[in-house]
Amino acid sequence: MKLVVGLGNPGVGYAQTRHNVGWLVVDEVARRAGATWRKEGKDAEVAEVRLGPGAGEKVLLVKPLTFMNASGRAVAPLMSFYKLEGTDLLVAQDDLDSPFGLLKLRMGGRHGGQNGLRDIIRLLGHEAFARLKIGISRPPAGWAVPDWVLSRWRDEEKNDLTELVRLGANAVEVWAASGLAEAQGQFNGTDLRPPPPPPPPKPASPKPAQPASVPSAGTAPVSAPGGAGHTGGHVENPEEG
């Protein structure tokens, strides 16, 4: 059995905020499997699915109901009750340090300031579990981090968000069925950001100026039209009367 935790905050007011992108991923996995959510004690909602070929791997999807900063209260008891190891746990989380559109999986590592992850590590007593990190970008200038993570997605982000959640759910399914290395190989290159514009063409180097021709010594000067020499004097116009 495996456990997949989607980090977020309970309540309709938080449903479409950046901090809840982990919830969106586990909701999508449950929707595909036709699973229903049920309360597990007072601290979590869970949905049981099977992922992978044949009978599939039994996976318990979890949405903590504790609010983000106390997510460990929902996760640690489930890990203990089902006697699961760190390798059986995947946490889907928002990641401030990754740009929006980037998705990656990793094993272990520090919490990076993500308070839900911080609390899970604190109550499990170790960092040795997998994370599905979904980029939400650093806040723009003038935004405090708490305001940014609790802000709603902008309209122009929603198409990419739908695709990011779809790919995140795919990554969960591959992790459950085939393991972390396979999921990393398939999804760690995910980057929905538009490619940068090509650099402007390099300007052509100016051609060196050609030196003016100088008559060689002893060469007769060339006559000007009408027979006048190039002496700087007046050249009469042959059409003048």
Q: Kindly tell me the sign of the dihedral angle through the C-alpha atoms of 86, 89, 94, 95.
A: positive
Which residue is listed with tokens 């309709």?
12
- Backbone phi, psi, residue 134, to 5°: -115, 115
- Backbone phi, psi, residue 51, to 5°: -125, 135
Q: Which residues contact 27 (CB under 8 A, 6 or more apart)?
A: 6, 63
Question: From CA 212, how far away is CA 193, in angstroms rounded?
Answer: 55
Which of 190, 1, 188 has the alpha carbon at shortest distance from 107?
188
CB burial class (10 A; 0-12, 13-18, 19+) of residue 91?
buried
Catalytic residue among 19, 111, 126, 234: 19
| Residue 126 falls in the annotated catalytic set | no
- Backbone phi, psi, residue 180, to 5°: -65, -45
Return the half-sphere exposure (C-beta side, CA atoms, 13 A cut-off) of residue 168: 33
E strands, 85-196, where? 89-95, 103-107, 130-135
CB burial class (10 A; 0-12, 13-18, 19+) of residue 93?
buried
Q: Tell me which residues are annotated as active site.
A: 19
